């Protein structure tokens, strides 16, 4: 499949206004540094005040890019979540089953990751609400958060667990040593 030329509109909201311009420029530069993406042109527009808000601003950037593959294109769509996308070239696509399967699996993997994050946040929210409800009804802080010593121990355990995770967020097996796995000893019956 040939390369894809597309236009993205990226929009951000925040404060102060000067920060939006620099953030958009950094975001566009980050996109351009991604493998398989080449920035053809960019225009970062000046921030404008959002009506009926106190000191909140919005700004957007028009970016035209060339993507090496359809997967690079969809990766950018999922990573940067543009406000608008327009494919300029090619006018039509011819895609084989392998490419379609690859694209579908890529999208499904992303959706599963987003779903896992959403479920985790919902679970944490339920826990926090139940703890706040317990405190509201007169419960003790130590029952919810533990003693300072217990809090410190939980933090150490959390840091140790985070240190054992690889970049994909999966647990590293404890038996992994110097890049090789120990052979497991089978118990004789």
| CATH number where 55 lies | 3.30.70
Q: Six-digit token pair at 123?
A: 């679970």
- Tell me if 1 sits within 8 A of 89, measured CB to CB: no
Give a yes or no: residue 43 inside a domain. yes
User: Which of 61, 94, 127 is where one domain is finished?
Assistant: 94
pLDDT of residue 122: 93
Same domain, 16 and 37: yes
pLDDT in tens, 82-129: 999 999 999 888 888 988 898 889 889 888 988 999 999 999 999 889
Give a yes or no: residue 181 inside a domain. no
The whole domain housing 33 covers 4-94
Q: Six-digit token pair at 44?
A: 């970062």
Same domain, 10 and 63: yes
Same domain, 39 and 105: no
Same domain, 102 and 68: no
pLDDT in tens, 39-89: 999 999 999 988 888 888 999 999 999 999 888 998 899 889 999 999 999
Same domain, 19 and 68: yes
User: What is the count of structural domains for the chain?
Assistant: 2
Report the predicted TM-score, pTM, of the whole model to 2 decimal places: 0.61
Same domain, 81 and 11: yes
- Tell me if 165 sits within 8 A of 172, measured CB to CB: yes
Same domain, 111 and 42: no
pLDDT in tens, 127-177: 889 889 888 888 888 777 777 788 788 888 878 877 776 545 554 444 444
Same domain, 10 and 24: yes
Residue given tokens 């053809």 in the structure block? 40
Per-position DSSP letters for 91-156, written without gaps between them: SS----HHHHHHHHHHHHHHHHHHHHHHHHHHHHHHHHHHHHHHHHTT--HHHHH--HHHHHHHHH
Same domain, 29 and 58: yes
- Tell me if 2 sits within 8 A of 72, measured CB to CB: no
Pinpoint the alpha helices (H) of 36-96: 70-80
Same domain, 66 and 86: yes
Same domain, 52 and 100: no
Print burial letters for 149-164: b (CB count within 10 Å at least 16), e (below 16).
eeeeeeeeeeeeeeee
């Amino acid at each position: 499949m040939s390369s894809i030329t597309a236009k993205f509109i990226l929009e951000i909201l925040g404060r102060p206004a000067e920060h939006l311009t620099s953030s958009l420029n950094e975001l566009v530069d980050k996109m351009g540094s991604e493998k398989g993406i080449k920035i053809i042109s960019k225009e970062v527009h000046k921030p404008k005040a959002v009506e009926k808000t106190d000191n909140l601003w919005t700004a957007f950037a028009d970016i035209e890019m060339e993507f090496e593959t359809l997967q690079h294109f969809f990766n950018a769509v999922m990573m940067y979540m543009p406000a608008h996308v327009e494919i300029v070239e090619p006018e039509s696509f011819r895609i084989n089953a392998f490419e379609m399967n690859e694209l579908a699996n890529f999208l499904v993997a992303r959706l599963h990751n987003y779903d896992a994050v959403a479920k985790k946040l919902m679970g944490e929210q339920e826990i926090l609400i139940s703890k706040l409800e317990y405190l509201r009804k007169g419960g003790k802080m130590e029952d919810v958060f533990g003693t300072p010593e217990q809090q410190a121990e939980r933090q150490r355990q959390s840091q140790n667990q985070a240190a054992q995770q690889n970049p994909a967020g999966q647990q590293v097996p404890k038996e992994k040593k110097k890049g090789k796995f120990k052979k497991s000893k089978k118990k004789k019956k």
